[in-house]
Amino acid sequence: MSGLFSTRTCSRCVKRFFKLHTVTDRRISKACHSDEHIRSFIRENTQITGQQSLTPEIKLRLFTPDCRFWRERPELWPFDDPYWAIYWPGGQAVSRYLLDNPEVCRGRAVLDLGSGCGASAIAAKLSGAAHVVANDIDTVASVAIHMNSELNGVKPPACVTDNMIGSEPESFDLILLGDMFYDESLATSLHSWLDRCIKIHGTRVLIGDPGRAQFEGHSIRRLLQHLAQFELPQCVKEENYGLTCSSVWLYHPNL
């Protein structure tokens, strides 16, 4: 069992995969592949799942132990690191919160930052958001987001693959972030950019995280208002180092 996902912990397997490749080894541009080729690759190498998550009503194409690249040699993976193929617990909490509280995004312009599989963008669509943008710098993720939207019978969100963190803030009513505080430098950049979005546009920011050390120890933590906590399904606990719950927070800086 030497593939991308050869242990029980999805996040651990992704990190292992990262270490096995240099940037030049693994960064093959989506421009080399048509969207239809990528769609076919995703169909062949993922499974439709989601029932064992916080949002069983949302179907997603994800990696499972039955998928080829759970066992395949990592160097055969042809694209960037597949964050989009895992439904991370912070994103699960944000998506669950939106579905339980649709008034939060109903009629609003919503940005799902670091969208990954697109579940939070889909939840915003299902909750009646007027306009949804899914931002992920992995161009393959944008294809996966379109496929997952189609699975759930919603119009795909506008997908932006430029890095929006640090860009001139656009006028969004709501920004969603799940599992984005895994790296201190990224978290610090996020902190500064979110402050600008709030100051210029009065944007609300919802953050989902299962209580990772990087999140709990960051200075942004003291500026958050706790909104909800969800107990993770057993399989998700096992895949995430035994983390048991995931929470949603409202970012409320003193500007």
> What local confidence, expressed as pLDDT, does residue 220 receive?
86
**How many Cβ atoms are within 10 Å of 250's Cβ, its own excluded?**
15
Please give the Cα distance from 195 to 193 (Å, whole number): 5
> ∠ at Cα 57 (54, 58), nearest 5°?
85
Find which of 2-6, 61-65, 235-239 is predicted with most confidence, using mean pLDDT: 61-65
Please give the Cα distance from 187 to 215 (Å, whole number): 8
Q: What is the dihedral of CA 247, 162, 190, 204, to 10 degrees?
A: -60
Question: With contact defined as beta carbons under 8 Å apart, do 207 and 251 qualify?
Answer: yes
Q: Average pLDDT, stretch 92-121?
A: 98
Q: Average pLDDT, stretch 153-172?
A: 95
Question: With contact defined as beta carbons under 8 Å apart, do 138 and 161 qualify?
Answer: yes
On the question of pLDDT at 20 being above 80, the answer is: no
Q: Average pLDDT, stretch 215-232?
A: 92
Q: Average pLDDT, stretch 174-196?
A: 89
> What local confidence, expressed as pLDDT, does residue 10 receive?
47
> What local confidence, expressed as pLDDT, does residue 16 receive?
36
Q: Longest C-alpha distance within the chain, in Å?
A: 51
Please give the Cα distance from 90 to 171 (Å, whole number): 24
Task: Among 26-35, 69-78, 171-180, 216-225, name the one with the lowest average pLDDT.
Answer: 26-35
On the question of pLDDT at 14 being above 80, the answer is: no
* Per-residue pLDDT band at 70 (split at 50, 70, 90): confident
State CA 97 to chain mean position distance. 15
Q: Average pLDDT, stretch 44-51?
A: 93
- pTM of the shown model: 0.87
